[in-house]
Amino acid sequence: MKTDELREKYLEFFETKGCVRRPSDVLVPRGDPTVLFTPAGMNQFKDQFLGVGKLDFTRATTCQKCLRTGDIENVGNTAYHHTFFEMLGNFSFGDYFKNDAIHWAWEFLTDKKWLGLDPQRLTVTVFQEDEEAYGIWHDKIGLSADRITRDNEHENFWPAGAPSEGPDGVCGPCSEIFYHPPGSSGNVEIWNLVFTQFNRVGDPPDNLRPLPKKNIDTGMGLERTAAVLQGHESNFEIDTLRPLCEASAAAVGVKYAYDSPHGRAVRRIADHVRAVTFAISEGVLPDRDRERYVIRQLLRRAVMEGFLIGQHDPFLHTLVPNVAEAMQVPYPELGKETEKIAEAIRDEEEQFLGTVEKGLHKLDNYIEKARGDGKSVLSGDDVFDLHQTDGFLIELTEAVAAKHNLSVDRQRFNARMQRHLQDSGRGAFADKVMAAGPLDAIRETQAGTDFVGYDETASTGKVV
Ligand code: ATP
Ligand code: MG
Ligand code: MG
Ligand code: MG
């Protein structure tokens, strides 16, 4: 089943259950101080979950554009993580609850009319205290006990970490569904059913306030489920992403193969250019602060991956039409904006490559200095300076140093980075978003005494 068909089938299925099909919300929400990017389908319905929103329906289904910077290190490494991805979801605002949500998920996955997955290949998890969910899976769906895992709040409460340490907002126990591909010892989490029952405010013990009405919020990974249906072990092999990987490889002068030495770098390029293209199409251009800084970093990382493979000219912008083509069914408007988006990417690429050249010159001096002193390790302070003032990514420094048989004092670099991340300025916040993901960054920043908010004028701190 093609990815576009899966998206349509999901939305259609939930329409038969009375859900109103709604368009994806934006990727970069304005006016929501708790997130820089939309991390899940539920974000556009926060008010409905809190019982304060005004919509004339109580059941919805969407396919949401999401971006999770916290997954950036996974991208290309794991088979199933992207920064930008699409999340299918079905929602209830005080309407249907656990029993229906679980039954419908099972029906959609296993009924031959819909996905027709082999039920024997599916297992689930539930929150350890959620007897109700366990009972539905076990007694009504008929899953044997060995296929239901009870887990703690880190795995089965959403957002993770509740009740003691999670971020404020709507939350609840969840039940995740995993698929076990034939011939593989691993599994892949495809769907998370969240039973949104609480509003978390402040510190424990009394911070979980029951919501006026119980809700459902589910998220199914479109690319992951497509990979399952298409029999691939990685999302990057599906019909929409494999061609983008091939185009990315060609743009940096190599041929793509999943396990080739450049495979990971190419997947990162493909992932990041998709994220950057969507952000820019919403008018979020790479720049110095907040979400614009994240987009700049994603763009630079992609360019850096190409640079390390040997592509020293701007190339990323040439991939915009490929992104538009891969995404043309759900987002036909992208096709009309490719030139504008490519131009913005090209400008940034040129600027970054200029920086790289300047940084390389500085780095040459550091390398000579280290050699002159008979050292095999570059100073963590110098490398940190290169990172902060020249926007020189640490991976690039390490790759260049390695060519001269030198390493980098990572311990010192990391210590400087840690100290920098504890600063309260805007630059530190943005770096933290890249290091830990927005939820953690917000939580940590809020925990600090220097938190001053996220409006445009509140904090300062220059980032490159
Ligand atoms: P994982 O444990 O694999 O990181 P998660 O538990 O963080 O996933 P959820 O927050 O439960 O993910 O999101 C709901 C669904 O969205 C997941 O079950 C998965 O199918 C999909 N998903 C989550 N993160 C990603 C990602 N980075 N790339 C692609 N799909 C994702
Ligand atoms: Mg995750
Ligand atoms: Mg998970
Ligand atoms: Mg999950």
CATH of the domain at 207: 3.30.930.10
Mapped onto helix, strand or coil, the DSSP state of residue 365 is helix
pLDDT band of 206, cuts 50, 70, 90 = confident
Which is higher by pLDDT, 435 or 151? 151
Helices (H), 114-219: 131-135, 153-156
Domain check: are 26 and 146 in the same one? yes
Would 218 be classed as within a structural domain? Answer: yes
Domain check: are 189 and 264 in the same one? no
Q: Which pLDDT does position 422 carry in this prediction?
A: 78
Would 455 be classed as within a structural domain? Answer: no
Q: Which pLDDT does position 426 carry in this prediction?
A: 53
H or E segment to which residue 134 belongs: helix 131-135
Would 104 be classed as within a structural domain? Answer: yes
Judge whether residue 130 has pLDDT over 90.
Answer: yes
Exposure of 336 by Cβ count < 10 A (0-12 exposed, 13-18 middle, 19+ buried)? exposed
Mapped onto helix, strand or coil, the DSSP state of residue 85 is strand
How many whole angstroms from 177 Cα to the centroid of ligand 3?
Answer: 10
Residue 84: strand pairing partners: 67
Q: Of 440, 369, 380, 372, which Cα lies nearest the Cα of 408?
A: 380
Ligand 1 pocket test, pick from 38, 151, 192, 267 with the greatest ligand atom count within 8 Å of Cβ, gives 192
Would 442 be classed as within a structural domain? Answer: no
Q: What are phi and psi of 35, to 5 degrees?
A: -140, 150
Sign of CA dihedral 418, 424, 430, 432: positive
Q: Which atom of ligand 1 is nearest the CA belonging to 219?
A: 14
Does 81 contact ligand 1 (Cβ within 6 A)? yes
CB under 5 Å of ion ligand 4: residues: 176, 192
Least confident of 88-92, 184-188, 335-339, 440-444: 440-444
CA 33 vs CA 43, 48, 168, 452, 463: distances in Å: 12, 18, 12, 12, 20
Average pLDDT of the segment spanning 144-168: 82
Does 224 contact ligand 1 (Cβ within 6 A)? yes
Judge whether residue 439 has pLDDT over 50.
Answer: no
Would 400 be classed as within a structural domain? Answer: yes
CB 266 within 8 A of CB 252: yes
What is the rounded CA–CA span in Å between residue 119 and residue 123? Answer: 8
Does 241 contact ligand 1 (Cβ within 6 A)? no
pLDDT band of 149, cuts 50, 70, 90 = very high
Q: Which pLDDT does position 451 carry in this prediction?
A: 24
Strands 59-67 vs 20-21: parallel, antiparallel or unpaired: parallel
CA 462 vs CA 80, 214, 391: distances in Å: 34, 44, 12
DSSP 355: H
Which is higher by pLDDT, 88 or 393? 88
pLDDT band of 47, cuts 50, 70, 90 = confident
pLDDT band of 449, cuts 50, 70, 90 = very low
What is the rounded CA–CA span in Å between residue 240 and residue 322? Answer: 10
Judge whether residue 446 has pLDDT over 50.
Answer: no
Which is higher by pLDDT, 397 or 5? 5
Domain check: are 64 and 206 in the same one? yes
CB 80 within 8 A of CB 221: yes
Q: Which pLDDT does position 437 carry in this prediction?
A: 44
Judge whether residue 442 has pLDDT over 50.
Answer: no
CA 331 vs CA 227, 246, 334: distances in Å: 21, 21, 6
Domain check: are 297 and 271 in the same one? yes
Q: Which pLDDT does position 235 carry in this prediction?
A: 97
Q: How crowded is residue 244: how many other Cβ atoms within 10 Å of its Cβ?
A: 24
Domain check: are 79 and 105 in the same one? yes
Give counts: helices (H), strands (E), the chain.
Answer: 16, 11
* Domain termination site, one of 208, 230, 252: 230
Q: Which pLDDT does position 289 carry in this prediction?
A: 85
User: Domain limits at 23?
Assistant: 3-230
Would 448 be classed as within a structural domain? Answer: no
Give the pair of three-digit tokens for residue 51.
């019982």
Q: Which pLDDT does position 332 carry in this prediction?
A: 96
Judge whether residue 444 has pLDDT over 80.
Answer: no
Overall domain count for the chain: 2
Exposure of 203 by Cβ count < 10 A (0-12 exposed, 13-18 middle, 19+ buried)? exposed
Q: What percent of the chain has pLDDT over 90?
A: 68
Q: Which pLDDT does position 438 carry in this prediction?
A: 40
Judge whether residue 265 has pLDDT over 90.
Answer: yes
Judge whether residue 430 has pLDDT over 80.
Answer: no
Mapped onto helix, strand or coil, the DSSP state of residue 420 is helix
Does 86 contact ligand 1 (Cβ within 6 A)? no
CA atoms within 13 A on the CB side of 243: 11
Would 450 be classed as within a structural domain? Answer: no
**Which residues are CB-contacts of 116 (< 8 A; sequence separation ≥ 6)?**
110
CB 196 within 8 A of CB 159: no
Average pLDDT of the segment spanning 352-365: 90
Would 430 be classed as within a structural domain? Answer: no
pLDDT band of 288, cuts 50, 70, 90 = confident
CB 105 within 8 A of CB 191: yes
Q: Of 364, 366, 372, which Cα lies nearest the Cα of 409?
A: 366
Domain check: are 344 and 380 in the same one? yes
Domain check: are 363 and 290 in the same one? yes
Average pLDDT of the segment spanning 324-329: 97
**Which residues are CB-contacts of 14 (< 8 A; sequence separation ≥ 6)?**
21, 59, 61, 90, 104
Q: Which atom of ligand 1 is nearest the CA belonging to 225?
A: 20
Residue 178: strand pairing partners: 123, 189
Q: Which pLDDT does position 440 carry in this prediction?
A: 44
Domain check: are 180 and 267 in the same one? no
H or E segment to which residue 429 belongs: helix 426-436
Domain check: are 377 and 350 in the same one? yes
* Domain termination site, one of 210, 230, 250: 230
Q: Which pLDDT does position 454 carry in this prediction?
A: 25
Q: Which pLDDT does position 217 carry in this prediction?
A: 95
Domain check: are 319 and 213 in the same one? no
Q: Which pLDDT does position 396 carry in this prediction?
A: 83
Domain check: are 209 and 247 in the same one? no
Does 217 contact ligand 1 (Cβ within 6 A)? no
DSSP 336: G
Domain check: are 161 and 306 in the same one? no
* Domain termination site, one of 207, 230, 253: 230
Q: What are phi and psi of 212, to 5 degrees?
A: -55, -35
